[in-house]
């Protein structure tokens, strides 16, 4: 079997090894039921301009609010949702919710720039994605330039139809960024094949940035390459001031992480923006 590390250090098992387990069947049933009953919500984590300490956008992150089991993090259910294709209806809900929220925030003029949505490879492979997104643009009247689609490198590394879907998304005017950059294979060559707007440097390089010469060199290389390609770079997982400082020194203009803010409920967005604006004024 294949075992891969999840974002928070927990192990995600590729379905084969537990395909016959009762736990999985129960979880799958609960997942389906929760999609029907709407037991999901989105939290939003800001993306920050490092020099100005200004919020430049938000990333929507899904949470499963199970009526009995409580809050279940994405690392515990996204893989299963992908394997069972439940990610298709769930992903449609996520897109609709994020578009509506973006529209709302734009209407009251609190939204700085973009709302980012994570797209899974399974969604990109689905022939329904583009028609769905197109109908959502019509329905919500969202400006696609205010929506960013985050896709992991591996999502378009090997399959043609995924690249095709990404190109369609770009043609529709969406911003496309590559998530967890630096962890996949052939990173550099795929950049050449598919020029996304933004590279999100994986948090594993930021985690040990203070002590690892290697991580710093990798970040530096990514920044240099992005500059040449005219791409934007954002560092994920900044947890303290020192990491922010180093990342900035290495040439990253944007960052994201608990140091700036954890993911927050949508209702707290205006207050958080206010807080950042206030801090900046005091600093001037």
> Applying CB under 5 A, which residues contact Mg ion?
7, 118, 150, 179-180, 236
Is residue 179 close enough to count as binding ligand C2E by CB under 6 A?
yes
Give the interface segment with ligand C2E, choosing from 113-121, 133-141, 164-172, 244-252 (CB under 6 A): 113-121
**Six-digit token pair at 48?**
């920050």
- Please report, for the chain, how many H helices and E strands are present, in that order: 11, 12
How buried is residue 48: exposed, middle or buried, by Cβ count under 10 Å (0-12/13-18/19+)? buried
Candidates 35, 55, 78, 142: give the one binding ligand C2E (CB under 6 A).
78
Phi, psi (rounded to 5 degrees) for 62: -80, 145
The residue range among 64-72, 185-193, 232-240, 267-275 that interacts with ligand C2E, by the rule CB under 6 A, is 232-240
Q: Report the DSSP beta bridge partners of residue 41.
A: 63
The number of beta carbons lying within 10 Å of the beta carbon of residue 255 is: 26
3-class secondary structure, 254? strand
Interacting partner of 45 out of Mg ion, ligand C2E, none (Cβ under 5 to 8 A depending on kind): ligand C2E
Q: Which is nearer to Mg ion, 47 or 216 (CB)?
A: 47
Question: Does the protein bind ligand C2E through residue 169 (CB under 6 A)?
Answer: no
- For ligand C2E, which residue of 101, 237, 244, 252 counts as binding (CB under 6 A)? 237
Residue 237 interacting entry, from Mg ion, ligand C2E, none, C-beta within 5 to 8 Å by type? ligand C2E
Residue 74 interacts with ligand C2E (CB under 6 A)? yes
- Short-list 227, 237, 158, CA closest to 194: 158
Cβ contacts of 187-194, under 8 Å, gap ≥ 24: 187/153, 188/225, 190/153, 190/156, 190/157, 191/225, 191/229, 191/231, 192/229, 193/163, 194/156, 194/163, 194/166, 194/167
Cβ nearer to ligand C2E, comparing 218 with 238: 238
Q: Is 263 in the site for ligand C2E (CB under 6 A)?
A: yes
Through-space distance between the first and last CA atoms of the chain, rounded to whole angstroms: 55
User: Which residue of 120, 146, 198, 215 would you call a contact of ligand C2E, by CB under 6 A?
Assistant: 120
Q: Is 184 in the site for ligand C2E (CB under 6 A)?
A: no
Separation of alpha carbons 103 and 256, rounded Å: 22
Q: By CB under 6 A, tell whether 12 contacts ligand C2E.
A: no
Q: Does 153 bind ligand C2E (CB under 6 A)?
A: no
Sort 252 into a burial class: Cβ within 10 Å, 0-12 / 13-18 / 19+. Answer: buried
Best CA proximity match to 208, nearest among 192, 219, 223, 199: 219
Span interacting with ligand C2E, options 48-56, 74-82, 135-143, 216-224, rule CB under 6 A: 74-82
Q: Judged by CB under 6 A, does residue 89 bind ligand C2E? A: no
Please identify, using beta-carbon distances, which residue of 239 and 245 lies nearer to ligand C2E. Answer: 239
Options 48-56, 217-225, 237-245, 265-273: segment touching ligand C2E (CB under 6 A): 237-245
Applying CB under 6 A, which residues contact ligand C2E?
7, 45, 61-62, 73-75, 78, 94, 118-120, 150, 179-180, 203, 236-239, 256-258, 263
């Amino acid at each position: 079997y294949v075992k891969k590390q999840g974002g928070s250090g927990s192990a995600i098992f590729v379905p084969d090894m537990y395909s016959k387990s009762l736990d999985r069947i129960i979880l799958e049933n609960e997942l389906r039921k929760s999609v029907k009953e709407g037991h999901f919500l989105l939290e939003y984590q800001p993306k920050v301009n490092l020099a100005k300490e200004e919020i430049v956008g938000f990333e929507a992150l899904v949470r499963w609010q199970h009526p009995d089991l409580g809050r279940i993090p994405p690392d515990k259910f996204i893989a299963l949702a992908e394997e069972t294709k439940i990610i298709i209806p769930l992903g449609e809900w996520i897109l609709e919710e994020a578009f509506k929220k973006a529209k709302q925030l734009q209407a009251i003029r609190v939204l700085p720039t973009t709302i980012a949505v994570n797209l899974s490879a399974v969604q990109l492979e689905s022939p329904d994605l583009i028609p769905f997104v197109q109908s959502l643009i019509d329905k919500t009247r969202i400006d696609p330039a205010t929506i960013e689609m985050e896709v992991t490198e591996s999502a378009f590394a090997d399959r043609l139809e995924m690249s095709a879907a990404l190109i369609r998304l770009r043609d529709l005017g969406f911003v496309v960024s590559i998530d967890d950059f630096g962890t996949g294979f052939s990173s550099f060559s795929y950049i050449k094949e598919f020029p996304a707007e933004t590279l999100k440097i994986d948090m594993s390089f930021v985690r040990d940035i203070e002590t690892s010469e290697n991580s710093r060199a990798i970040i530096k290389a990514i920044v240099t390459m992005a500059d040449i390609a005219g791409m934007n770079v954002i560092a994920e997982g900044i947890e303290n001031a020192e990491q922010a400082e180093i990342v900035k020194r290495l040439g990253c203009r944007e960052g994201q992480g608990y140091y700036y803010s954890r993911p927050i409920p949508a209702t707290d967005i205006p207050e958080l923006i206010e807080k950042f604006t206030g801090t900046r004024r005091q600093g001037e």
